[in-house]
Amino acid sequence: MDYFITEELPPFSQFALLHEDSGLLKSKKGNYTREQLYEAAKNSWYSISIYHNQKLIAFGRMISDGVYQSLICDVMVHPEEQGKGLGKQIIEKLVYKCKQSGIQSIQLFSAKGKHPFYKKLGFVEREQDAPGMSLLF
């Protein structure tokens, strides 16, 4: 299957549709509008969009200081396209961008049940005595 991969942010309508179709919209903590989520994506350090027949079918982004820290966010693949290696491709491109920039620390938040996917790609869970933390409003 032919895919078109770009570092350009997708159009709002396609981004919003994939966010909903992938189920990621429902899993967000907080009440954010589609417009706010798109604004967040526009403020990313780096993003990858994958299209098939001009339809956005996969997307991933990261935020970073560009020196030593990065955080992978919003990796989403349309349910009909899952299992085809697109999520893996996105992660590999995000990690490669970090390596190019000399970034050695990559963090990510995983959707529920997706830990095995990230483990297969080399990510490890944080140590029990150094867990991540959150503050939600």
Other C-beta atoms within 10 Å of 87: how many?
21
- Using an 8 Å Cβ cutoff, are 22 and 72 in contact? no
Catalytic-residue membership of 46: no
Strand order of the β-sheet with 105-108 is: 4-6, 46-52, 55-64, 69-77, 105-108
- Selected catalytic residue, list 32, 68, 96, 118: 118
- The owner of tokens 């993003």 is 47
* 3-state secondary structure labels for all residues of 64-77: ECCCCEEEEEEEEE
C-alpha–C-alpha distance, residues 136 and 31, integer Å:
12
The residues carrying an active-site annotation are: 118
